[in-house]
Every structure is written in structure tokens, then in C-alpha cells.
Structure 1
Amino acid sequence: MKYRRFGKTNLHLSVFSLGTMRYLANAEIANKTIEQALSLGINHIETARGYGKSEEYFGTAIKGGLSVPRNQLYITTKIPPCADADTMRRHIDESLKRLNLDYIDCLGIHGLNTQQHLEWVEAKNGCMQAVDEAVNNGMVRHVGFSTHGSLEIILAAINTDFFEFVNLHYYYFFQRNASAIQAATEKDMGVFIISPADKGGRLYTPPTTLKELCQPFTPLALNYRFLLSDNRITTLSVGAATPEELIAPLEVADDVGELTTDEITVFERLENQQNQVLVTDKCSQCYACLPCPENINIPEVLRLRNLAVAYDMNDYGKYRYGMFENAGHWFPGMKGNRCTECGDCLPKCPENLNIPALLADTHERLAGKAGRRLWS
């Protein structure tokens, strides 16, 4: 296991962190998974107030005694933004009690996703007043934020200078937030990548087409290498629900150097595949088409189409497409069938895509069972 400095926190975290959103079974399995992670060199565990019983399960493990001393283990929990300091004080107290801790190494403002959330954070007597108090009295040591928001919201949050780290989405198949990673790096913030296996493409169950294109590597290992080769990134979440699920991801935990010639060749092959299959229907993800009068997240809808058409990533596409209209600010936007063919987007598109037709095609391909947040 390799370790990297988590920005201005000056904590040195393992390049893989144990994410606990999937601790939905029981405390015994959670404890075994934690111990397996520690034995493999993971020194950072990330949970959240909203992750079901995750905080309680971790607190049970702490109470029973772990194989690593507390001062060699870094704990992050996350609490949603709120309008007032009193609510945040209560939530911090509750999380500490559930975790059986007297301090939290890292507190993340969980889901700083909207302009309203940003206003709550910036308000003089808002939730950050309670966070600052918790830092001053030693209950919290470092403060950051996690986000599923737009690039504009992420950059604005980074520029508040309130935060020491950021948890965000960024993968080979979703590079929209590249400038946020650079902005965070320039502020000396730690960078934590959320769910690279699952949100990054459900790469633990890749389609045959994608597996063949990635040979001699697996799609999952290749995505990990894409991220680990970027030294601006501190750590990647691995959301294991059982001890066994830690084995395959951590096979690349020591491989953090620059991309090899063979890896670069595969990435070029993947790009060529998109160009050859999509031809004139490829969305370049410039986001110039927004805003949409019907609040359709056009670039994200068409990104899912890109992946489904080019790589047969239909299962992933259906999984994410099903979140539209069902996950609130965690995955905003309406489905493609909401398009009224108003034509507002057409002159904005530098590729001259027939966006209404592509939205309709995406809906036909990917519409299925509605999705929801795992822990909602």
C-alpha cells in the first residue's frame, strides 16, 4: 500500500480508503471488513451520518478494539449542510457518540450540491459556525466537503477557502471535474475520488466489449491506474461490503507511477472506439447546450449514450439513467423523454448534434426501473 499527503491536512492517507456506504448487513461483517482493510494497509475509513447504520457499526468495532492504534487510523464522517448552527452542533455530537470517538479526524460537509447549500455554508451564523466551534474545541481536526454538484458549484465551494479537502466524482469515463481537481491542488486541498468502481462505470461487472478493448488489463484496474497515476489525487474510495471485496481493487495499491506505454495504448484504443462507433453522434461534453428549458441534464444523458453505444455499457447506463427524477440534488435533471423539441439547444452545440433525436434514442435504450440512492 502506498500513502500520499492529503493536502494541507498533512495527514498521510493510504491511496485506497475504505468507504462504508454499503455497510447494510450487520456489525459483524462490518467489523471483519474493517479488519481486513487495516491488515491490507488501509489507514483511512470514510463514513457518513446518512449511510444507514454505518457510523454505529464502526462505533461497535472501535468499542471492541481494532488491530491498529487510534492515532494511526484516520476517520472521516460526513454531515449534510444545514441552515443553522444548532442543527449542525447536534449532528456532530450524534455522530461522535455513534462512532464512539472523542474526535473526528476529518469532517466533510456531505453533498454540497446546490447554490442553496453553498449559501448555507457561507452564511455568517450558518452551519459552519458550529463546525468552527468543533474544530476549536478539538472535536474535529480537519474540514472538507463532498459533492455531487455541478462543476460551477464545486469551484465556488473550493474558492470559499473554508475547506482542506474535497470528495468528488472524476474517472476515465467522466473527466468533467478535471479543473476542480486542479483548483483544489492549487489551494493545497486533499483530493478524494468517490466510488471509482461503481459510479465510474460499474467496472466490477464490465460488458464483454469493454473487457476486450481493455486487454491485457481489466477495465477496473485501468480506471484505478488512470487515477493513481495522477499525483494530485490522494486517495480512492473502495466501497467493500465484505472482506473479500477488498482483494481485487488493492492489487494495484502499489502501482502509483506514471502510465505505462501499454496503458496509454489501451486508452488510445478506447478513444478511437468512441470516434469510430459514434462518428457524428459523439457528444464531446462541452456543456454548451445548457441550460435546458425542461431541465434535462443533456450532457450527462448523452455521456451515458456515448458509453452505451461505444462500449455496450448498457447496464451502467440504465443504472445511472434511472437516477434522473429519483435522486433529487444528488443526481439532478429530467429524463430525455421530457424533451419538447423546442430547439433551444441546437444552435449552441459546436458539433451540430441533433440533440432532441439523441435524447429520444437514449431514453429508448436506457429507460427502465427507477433508481434511488443506496442509503436513502
Structure 2
Amino acid sequence: MEATVQKAIELGINHIETARGYGKSEEFLGAALQGARSRVFLTTKLPPSLDADQTDRWIDESLERLQVDFVDSLAIHGLNTWEHLEWVKADNGCMKAVRDAIADGRVRHVGFSTHGSLDVILAAIATDFFEFVNLHYSFFFQRNAPAIELAAQKDLGIFIISPADKAGMLHTPPQKLTQLCAPMSPLEMNYRFLLSDRRITTLSVGAANPNELNLDYRTGALSAEEQQVFERLREIRAPEQCSQCYECLPCPEGINIPEVLRLRNLATAYDMQQFGEYRYRMFENAGHWFPGNKGNRCTDCGDCLPKCPEKLEIPRLLRETHDRLNGKAGRRLWQE
């Protein structure tokens, strides 16, 4: 870990992010940054809370573990639900403590991270409480495009969560996807998709060792060759492809129909089976971080059928996807 941090700084990477919930990450990072603190923008994250005093203690604990007097940026971690947004708006909730910490210099800037629905993200941005947002967005998940646009209009920093792993396990791609992305790798393809967008401020690279930092992080407009890659990828379609319009929601059984069918799209169009299994087994096991029930909960009520502009046989596709992708349940990093 120390070698990876050192290599990142040598390469000019100047933003490092962690969180209270990431095991001993703050403690380890604090040790690794000794002598290098002035060379990086440091971000940590803590959960939303209705208790300002508790949040104030959490801030001090993070500073102590990081061995710093202040963090450049503090994010409310996992502003995923309408209830969380109400906690943020509460008079004596977490934002009171954050504003106090900004006033006394322990925090320079405040933002939020989110795995929530698009409407929650837009509402959070619209509060004007925040200076940056951490969210999911990638070539294979463009649902949050309106949030990117609103954040850019309000001049917020835009931080993309996990463009390698949760964007498609692009660090270990299937052969078909690798061939489609050539001469880029699938990981470089997604980085170029993001970094060619001038609205995007920074990415979570998530390197596990120094060698994983040896990638092309170019910004700027796409070349003609790169544009051909994206055109080729867009031409590939899954059989009975879901258009991701979200008109099928809400589902009476709480099934996250668009996300289930998105994973089916990727598995059948690009052979992203391993990624589909990885994400699908998180349903019913990750709470508000990845909400929704699995496809086998479908009761054939038919509520979704008239809503679908593609006239898809959604109940059948849900069952087929479950049979294809269901696997052993995983756990989140901060769960016991």
C-alpha cells in the first residue's frame, strides 16, 4: 500500500480518497502520507447522521487516524435514500457539524457520495449544500447523465466511483470485450470515455499495487480511432435488449428490474458474465447500497408489461437472468 501511494504521487496523482468505513484505511494512509501530505488533496468520508455531536467526533477521529490537522474534502458517505437526504437537511444533523468543521479549519470542502437513485442524487445536488459529488457513471452505466449535467451546471467537482471494478470488472475483461475495445483495453476505454468529458474532475483508480498505475490517463477529445471503438461497442446489442428507460418501476415485488436487465444486457451482448454474477448476487445483500430484489421474486403480476416501450416479456427475462446470474452472496467491505 505504501509503495502504491508513493508511486501514485511520483506519477503526479494528487488526489487520494478514503473513508471511515474502509477498515483501517485511514490509519494506513495516515502512515503512508508522512512527509507527502502537502502534495495531495486528501478526502475522507463519513456516514449521514441525525446527530451533529456524533459527526463532530467522527471528524476528529478521522483526522487523528490520518495524522492531519485538516482534510481538503469531506464527503457524506452513502447519501443513498430520501431518508438520508432528510438527515442532511435536519437542523442538528451531520451538516451542522460539517459546517462547524469548515468554520474552524478542520475541513476545507464538503460533498457527498451516493449509490442512490437518480432522483435522490438530483435532489441532493439541488440543495446547494455541496461542492462535489461522488457517483457511478461509466460507458456501461449512463443512467446518471442528468446528474453529471446538473452538477456541472452548478460547478460541482465530479468524482466517478469505481470506473474499473463496479463499472464492469474491466480490470479482468472477457475476451469478446477485449477484442471489441482494441487497440485500447476495456479499462482504458472507460477511462477515455470519462476523461474525454471535461465535466469529469477525477476518478477512483483503486490500484492494488504500483504496477496497476501504469495506464494511460489522457484527457482531451477522443481520436478518430477511439471514436470507432465506441461506435463499435454501441452497435452490439443484446437479444431482447432493455433500453434502460426505467418506465417499468416501481415493481410491486421490489425487483430492481432495470438493473437486473442491464446486467443481462451486458452478459449477453459483451460476455460480461462474471461481472453480471458479481453484481447480481449483491441484490438483497447490500441494503441501500445496491437496492432491489432478485428476479426470481417475480409473481407474473404483469404490472410492468404495459409500461415497457420495447414490449419485452419482462417476467420471463427476469427469471432467465436469475437462472443465469444468481450465485453465492457476498459481503460489503465494512460488514462483519
TM-score range normalised by the length of the shorter chain: over 0.9
> Which secondary structure does the structure 2 equivalent of 1:45 belong to?
strand
Residue of structure 2 in register with 1:48 after alignment: 19
1:172 paired with 2:172, answer no
* Aligned: 1:264 with 2:227: yes
Aligned match of 2:269: 310
Pairwise CA distance, 1:335? 0.4
Counterparts of 1:1-376 in structure 2, within 5 Å, are 30-62=1-33, 65-66=34-35, 68=36, 70-247=37-214, 251-253=215-217, 255-274=218-237, 277-278=238-239, 281-376=240-335
Normalised TM-score (structure 1): 0.88
Unpaired runs of 5+ in structure 1? 1-29
Structure 1 residue ranges (4+ consecutive) displaced by more than 6 angstroms after TM superposition: none
Cα shift at 1:266 = 1.5
Alpha-carbon distance in structure 1 between the residues aligned to 2:40 and 2:236: 43
Q: Compute the displacement of 1:228 (Å).
A: 0.5
SS of the residue 1:358 aligns to = helix
Hey, what's the Cα distance between the residues in 1 that align with 2:321 and 2:330? 16
**Separation in 1, partners of 2:286, 2:317:** 23
CA distance in 2, matches of 1:136, 1:335: 45
Distance of 2:216 and 2:5 partners within structure 1: 19
Offset, 1:246: 1.7
- CA deviations on 1:88-141 (whole Å, 9 max, x unpaired) are 011111101111011010000000000110000001111111110000000000
- SS of the residue corresponding to residue 302 of structure 2 reads coil
Q: 1:320, 1:371 within 8 Å by CA — same for their partners in 2?
A: no
TM-score by length of 2: 0.98
Q: Give the whole-Å Cα distance in 2 for the aligned partners of 1:128 and 1:203.
A: 36
Task: Classify the secondary structure of the residue corresponding to 2:245.
Answer: coil
Partner Cα distance (2:305, 2:221) in 1: 40
Letter of the 2:223 counterpart: T
Number of aligned residue pairs: give it.
Answer: 335
Q: Distance in 2 between the 1:371 and 1:333 partners?
A: 15
Secondary structure of 1:252's match? Answer: coil
Task: Give 2:267's aligned amino acid.
Answer: A
Local SS of the residue matching 2:236: helix
* Cα deviation, residue 215, structure 1: 1.7
Structure scoring higher RCO (CA < 8 A, sep ≥ 6) equals 1
Question: Counterparts of 2:169 and 2:324 in 1: how far apart (Å)?
Answer: 17
Alpha-carbon RMSD = 1.0
Distance, in Å, in 2 between the alignment partners of 1:292 and 1:372 is 25
User: CA separation in 2, counterparts of 1:355 and 1:259?
Assistant: 37
